[in-house]
Amino acid sequence: DSGVTQTPKHLITATGQRVTLRCSPRSGDLSVYWYQQSLDQGLQFLIQYYNGEERAKGNILERFSAQQFPDLHSELNLSSLELGDSALYFCASSRGGAWAEAFFGQGTRLTVV
Protein backbone atom coordinates (compact mmCIF):
# COMPACT_ATOMS: atom_id res chain seq x y z
CA ASP A 1 0.00 0.00 0.00
CA SER A 2 1.58 3.26 -1.20
CA GLY A 3 -0.57 5.45 1.03
CA VAL A 4 -2.06 7.25 -1.98
CA THR A 5 -5.79 6.71 -2.35
CA GLN A 6 -7.68 7.12 -5.59
CA THR A 7 -11.41 6.90 -6.01
CA PRO A 8 -13.28 5.48 -7.72
CA LYS A 9 -11.32 2.42 -8.85
CA HIS A 10 -13.49 1.92 -11.91
CA LEU A 11 -15.75 4.27 -13.80
CA ILE A 12 -17.90 3.61 -16.84
CA THR A 13 -19.58 6.54 -18.47
CA ALA A 14 -20.99 7.66 -21.79
CA THR A 15 -19.46 9.96 -24.36
CA GLY A 16 -20.12 13.62 -23.70
CA GLN A 17 -20.34 13.17 -19.96
CA ARG A 18 -18.22 14.70 -17.21
CA VAL A 19 -16.46 12.82 -14.40
CA THR A 20 -14.32 13.69 -11.40
CA LEU A 21 -11.45 11.55 -10.20
CA ARG A 22 -10.22 12.01 -6.68
CA CYS A 23 -6.80 11.56 -5.14
CA SER A 24 -5.72 11.69 -1.50
CA PRO A 25 -1.93 11.95 -1.23
CA ARG A 26 0.25 10.36 1.40
CA SER A 27 0.29 12.14 4.70
CA GLY A 28 2.80 14.98 4.54
CA ASP A 29 3.19 14.98 0.76
CA LEU A 30 2.63 18.40 -0.77
CA SER A 31 3.09 17.48 -4.41
CA VAL A 32 0.48 15.69 -6.52
CA TYR A 33 0.96 14.47 -10.09
CA TRP A 34 -1.67 13.20 -12.51
CA TYR A 35 -0.89 10.74 -15.31
CA GLN A 36 -2.87 9.10 -18.06
CA GLN A 37 -1.97 5.58 -19.19
CA SER A 38 -3.74 4.21 -22.24
CA LEU A 39 -3.77 0.47 -22.91
CA ASP A 40 -0.20 -0.85 -22.80
CA GLN A 41 1.15 2.64 -23.24
CA GLY A 42 3.46 4.80 -21.20
CA LEU A 43 2.65 7.27 -18.47
CA GLN A 44 1.59 10.58 -19.98
CA PHE A 45 2.15 13.45 -17.58
CA LEU A 46 -0.92 15.65 -17.29
CA ILE A 47 -0.45 18.17 -14.49
CA GLN A 48 1.25 18.73 -11.17
CA TYR A 49 0.29 20.67 -8.05
CA TYR A 50 2.41 21.68 -5.11
CA ASN A 51 0.77 22.85 -1.91
CA GLY A 52 -2.36 24.00 -3.68
CA GLU A 53 -0.70 25.69 -6.64
CA GLU A 54 -0.39 24.45 -10.18
CA ARG A 55 3.33 24.05 -10.88
CA ALA A 56 3.66 22.16 -14.15
CA LYS A 57 1.50 21.18 -17.07
CA GLY A 58 1.98 18.41 -19.57
CA ASN A 59 -0.16 17.28 -22.46
CA ILE A 60 -3.42 17.99 -20.72
CA LEU A 61 -6.43 18.59 -22.94
CA GLU A 62 -8.50 21.74 -22.48
CA ARG A 63 -11.46 19.49 -21.61
CA PHE A 64 -9.50 18.33 -18.56
CA SER A 65 -8.85 20.37 -15.46
CA ALA A 66 -7.55 19.73 -11.99
CA GLN A 67 -7.18 21.37 -8.64
CA GLN A 68 -5.59 20.75 -5.27
CA PHE A 69 -7.54 21.69 -2.20
CA PRO A 70 -6.31 23.13 1.14
CA ASP A 71 -6.36 19.64 2.67
CA LEU A 72 -4.04 18.64 -0.22
CA HIS A 73 -6.37 16.20 -1.88
CA SER A 74 -6.69 16.67 -5.61
CA GLU A 75 -9.38 16.20 -8.19
CA LEU A 76 -9.08 15.68 -11.92
CA ASN A 77 -12.13 16.74 -13.90
CA LEU A 78 -12.69 15.29 -17.34
CA SER A 79 -15.50 16.73 -19.45
CA SER A 80 -17.07 16.18 -22.87
CA LEU A 81 -15.65 12.69 -22.71
CA GLU A 82 -14.65 10.88 -25.86
CA LEU A 83 -13.98 7.20 -26.50
CA GLY A 84 -10.26 7.98 -26.68
CA ASP A 85 -10.27 9.22 -23.10
CA SER A 86 -10.67 5.64 -21.90
CA ALA A 87 -7.53 4.95 -19.91
CA LEU A 88 -6.05 4.33 -16.50
CA TYR A 89 -5.55 7.58 -14.63
CA PHE A 90 -2.88 7.57 -11.95
CA CYS A 91 -2.26 10.03 -9.22
CA ALA A 92 1.13 10.15 -7.52
CA SER A 93 2.32 12.15 -4.55
CA SER A 94 5.72 13.15 -3.26
CA ARG A 95 7.25 15.48 -0.70
CA GLY A 96 8.46 17.58 -3.61
CA GLY A 97 11.93 18.25 -4.88
CA ALA A 98 14.40 16.42 -7.04
CA TRP A 99 15.24 13.85 -4.40
CA ALA A 100 11.69 12.87 -3.56
CA GLU A 101 10.32 9.60 -4.80
CA ALA A 102 6.77 9.56 -6.07
CA PHE A 103 4.22 7.14 -4.68
CA PHE A 104 1.47 6.06 -7.04
CA GLY A 105 -2.12 5.29 -6.24
CA GLN A 106 -3.77 2.21 -7.70
CA GLY A 107 -5.38 4.26 -10.44
CA THR A 108 -8.87 4.88 -11.72
CA ARG A 109 -9.83 2.89 -14.79
CA LEU A 110 -12.11 5.05 -16.91
CA THR A 111 -14.12 3.45 -19.67
CA VAL A 112 -16.05 5.73 -22.01
CA VAL A 113 -18.76 3.96 -24.00
Partner 1 sequence: QQPVQSPQAVILREGEDAVINCSSSKALYSVHWYRQKHGEAPVFLMILLKGGEQKGHDKISASFNEKKQQSSLYLTASQLSYSGTYFCGTGPRGQGAQKLVFGQGTRLTINP
Which residues of this protein are in contact with partner 1, per CB under 8 A? Answer: 2, 31, 33, 35, 41-43, 45, 48, 50, 55-56, 58, 90, 92, 94, 96-99, 101-107
CA distance 29 to 73: 10
- Give whichever of 89 and 112 is closer to partner 1, judged by the CB atom: 89
Q: Is 66 exposed, middle or buried (0-12, 13-18, 19+ CB in 10 A)?
A: buried
Cβ 58 to partner 1 shortest distance, Å: 7
Cα–Cα–Cα angle for 34, 18, 71, rounded to 5 degrees: 45
> Which lies closer to partner 1 via its Cβ, residue 50 or residue 64?
50
DSSP, res 72: S
Angle at 78 between CA 75 and CA 79, to 5 degrees: 135
**Shortest distance (Å) from residue 95 CB to partner 1:** 10
State in angstroms the smallest separation of the CB of 79 from partner 1: 24
Instruction: Identify which of residues 60 and 79 has a Cβ nearer to partner 1 in the complex.
Output: 60
